[in-house]
Structure 1
């Protein structure tokens, strides 16, 4: 796959689209161009199952007539004037939105940081096939693995362009590379499966295919012959893969849009203790090579790192322009463009590590459940009530013992956050990252 995106041409076309909107009668306008290419190869049992290549181009024009707003999308710009006229006509009959509007021109980004988000070397289908086959072979080589659930490798890149009538014009390119493998252990009704994967902006940063396959196999074998446990109140330890979901629930609760709608269980907690003292959560859009990084936000504002939790205290919401205006605050450049408008969104959100190793944390816990997999979506964002099906391993005498499945852990996220303790093993590969975490006093529903 060869990089072939002309960002300068996209910027020029987006600027012409904005100008066409002003000519058609819009008081203000912005245009987004998103384009990309991807190539993926899936294998199973040593053979290629599917090779898929995709290319996409899309433009979105958003226009403002007073406090009325409308947007239109197109795959090509054959008739800029006609597209702009349709958007303005739609805006004139739209209901007023008191919070709509572009970012203030004085606040727009003047220079864009270099974040090394693009790996521009060509990746062939043969390379992707070989990586997927290597991962699968390593998984199948693990003793106890009965068959492959498949492996896949992908490579892609995309371009983002934003132009506004307030004077902003910017763009960036980002690449995406992934590799995954699923392994199956056991037979018949006793089969268990698990997986491992990696996802990076630069292909050279991907984990070794053999390592990904081997870990998938080892995880699946460990799950064979699971047991149920008795209903109890106990400590729950979440491995980093599962702990990321807790950070994700936090992100949803501190999204300014949820706060404005009063659908967040943390809506009254600004400046108050949410996590235990010593806990820190940050959001950093300027992390080089990271999958959530970006040089500007969806409104053209300059981005900067943000402390969400300091010493356990909530310090910020995620805010874009409209949400900030509704809450009487200022945007902190967390706007993500989503079709017809923007919405607040995290970038590289991280629960920072503590001092204890996960091994010491397990030993100190003594008895409880070590969670490796989550099932379902039983979280109430308004109340924080939490109930998820899980599987993992029972902790006994400070050690992991037998596998456990078909159990549920429950609590309330407010209480869970307040008791959460992070270990010192953060998995920093993904845009939402967390170390192993322990939470005392959760309800485990078993037999």
Structure 2
């Protein structure tokens, strides 16, 4: 384990790569190694269906010659000099990019906290197998569950090694463990499927696999014999936290600086304006100790800080990397992420901050409405904000969840949905995108 965690050799190779690129004619360069180690076991109906194990250290070199930039990638064992010379040759014939650059030296992280992202617990394939079997067995033991779609368990770690020509060197690793199960209730055309899972940085903090299985079984039997409901044009829809997290992802996409620069966000002209209901805030914090998406520095060597992206309903920040910030005439806020050979902005530990009302009281306050547990399709236009998704869940009648509902569509515009959103107080921050249960008034529901 210690040899897998130690990044000193990779950092040395990255630094050598930069030196060779400079000697070959690059004005500036950075080299990154994206590290990955993983193992997983999948089971179905009491038998192992698959065991997988992988590890990789993927090198990328980015070189700059004036305003020209080129990037190349390679696996371990490559010839450092040949790769550096190839990258420089590519840069010389590349078109100019007025915004491509390294992070300003003044913005580089010189020290950073220990965020406790790595759990070195050794997890064997046998432990993963037993966890998957326990989750499935507990789900199948729930009365009404008729079949299994499979269960699984995984363990792994990943991280980043980064060196730049203007003096940054750093690395970090983060672990990740997971349990999951998916089961079926009902027969024939009346079959319904549901699932449950847990994912944590620390193995000891994972929910017990039997508990995960029980929850999955109880969820699926509630979905049997769903109905359609009549079409309505002024329906209050409550989003279960599982789908609420995805909805907050739409907000993150709309305030991503890259989307703003491309003019592909419906919020591109709304900086400093109210985009959520007063009192609501969205935060992003890369420095949470043991946070699921924490990082001591971003993909360019810049250390971010906690930002209130939307404060009291007012849009305050975009997610920015250096090049995106330059394009918008701004400064990076340490949200650059390496994706292959490119750097683009992204969120870290993103949260729609909770309200004061319990989810039970929120449901009671609705009277009649629709509680969504799963969304289907990709009917979201991030340029216009138009929103239309297939949905399943439960009908709310007299403030109580009643019968299951399927084969309906919910629709509105994200601009209006943001302004009509009321959050409950049940946020779970163990995911990189966190959101409580919330209600949105005035949506269209297309049913029978």
Taking structure 2 as the reference length, the TM-score comes to 0.98
Q: Residues 166-193 of structure 1: CA distance to partner in whole angstroms, max 9, x if unpaired?
A: 1100000111111100011011111101
List 4+ stretches of structure 1 deviating above 6 A: none
Change (3 A) 1:156 1:2: farther
Inter-partner Cα distance in structure 2 for 1:180 and 1:438: 28
3-state SS of the aligned residue for 1:196?
strand
- Tell me whether 1:105 sits opposite 2:105 in the alignment: yes
Q: Is the 8 A contact 1:5 1:159 kept in 2?
A: no
Q: Is the 8 A contact 2:279 2:313 kept in 1?
A: yes
User: Paired residues, what number?
Assistant: 447
3-state SS of the aligned residue for 1:147?
strand
What is the match of residue 63 of structure 1?
Answer: 63
| Structure 1: gaps (5+ residues) | none
Inter-partner Cα distance in structure 1 for 2:340 and 2:164: 15
TM-fit CA distance, 1:159: 3.0
What is the match of residue 352 of structure 1?
Answer: 353
3-state SS of the aligned residue for 2:49?
strand
Q: Residues 11-65 of structure 1: CA distance to partner in whole angstroms, max 9, x if unpaired?
A: 1111111111101100000000122211100011111111111111210000000
- Pairs within 5 Å for 1:352-391: 352-391=353-392
What is the match of residue 404 of structure 2?
Answer: 403
- Tell me whether 1:33 sits opposite 2:68 in the alignment: no
Inter-partner Cα distance in structure 2 for 1:419 and 1:37: 43
What is the match of residue 434 of structure 2?
Answer: 433
Inter-partner Cα distance in structure 1 for 2:77 and 2:99: 29
- Tell me whether 1:219 sits opposite 2:192 in the alignment: no
Q: Residues 268-306 of structure 1: CA distance to partner in whole angstroms, max 9, x if unpaired?
A: 111111111110110010111122110001110112111
Q: Is the 8 A contact 1:18 1:30 kept in 2?
A: yes
TM-fit CA distance, 1:129: 0.6
Q: Please, which moves more after superposition, 188-197 or 202-211? A: 202-211
- Pairs within 5 Å for 1:127-138: 127-138=127-138
Inter-partner Cα distance in structure 1 for 2:204 and 2:97: 47
Inter-partner Cα distance in structure 1 for 2:237 and 2:146: 31
TM-fit CA distance, 1:78: 3.4
Inter-partner Cα distance in structure 1 for 2:318 and 2:231: 37
TM-fit CA distance, 1:3: 6.5
What is the match of residue 236 of structure 1?
Answer: 237
Q: Is the 8 A contact 2:181 2:196 kept in 1?
A: yes
3-state SS of the aligned residue for 1:4?
helix
Inter-partner Cα distance in structure 1 for 2:278 and 2:35: 44
Q: Residues 232-268 of structure 1: CA distance to partner in whole angstroms, max 9, x if unpaired?
A: 0210000100111110000000000100111100011
What is the match of residue 205 of structure 1?
Answer: 205
Inter-partner Cα distance in structure 2 for 1:360 and 1:429: 24
3-state SS of the aligned residue for 1:42?
strand
What is the match of residue 307 of structure 2?
Answer: 306
Inter-partner Cα distance in structure 2 for 1:152 and 1:77: 33
What is the match of residue 317 of structure 2?
Answer: 316
What is the match of residue 182 of structure 2?
Answer: 182
What is the match of residue 115 of structure 2?
Answer: 115
Inter-partner Cα distance in structure 2 for 1:371 and 1:414: 20
3-state SS of the aligned residue for 1:337?
strand
Q: Residues 355-384 of structure 1: CA distance to partner in whole angstroms, max 9, x if unpaired?
A: 000100111100000000000010000000
Q: Is the 8 A contact 2:121 2:203 kept in 1?
A: no
- Pairs within 5 Å for 1:116-195: 116-195=116-195
What is the match of residue 271 of structure 1?
Answer: 272
TM-fit CA distance, 1:4: 2.2
What is the match of residue 95 of structure 2?
Answer: 95
Q: Residues 416-440 of structure 1: CA distance to partner in whole angstroms, max 9, x if unpaired?
A: 0001000000121110010000001
Q: Is the 8 A contact 1:3 1:120 kept in 2?
A: no
| Structure 2: gaps (5+ residues) | none
Taking structure 1 as the reference length, the TM-score comes to 0.99
Q: Is the 8 A contact 1:2 1:122 kept in 2?
A: no
Inter-partner Cα distance in structure 2 for 1:299 and 1:431: 20
Inter-partner Cα distance in structure 1 for 2:153 and 2:27: 46
TM-fit CA distance, 1:2: 7.8
TM-fit CA distance, 1:77: 4.2
3-state SS of the aligned residue for 1:51?
strand
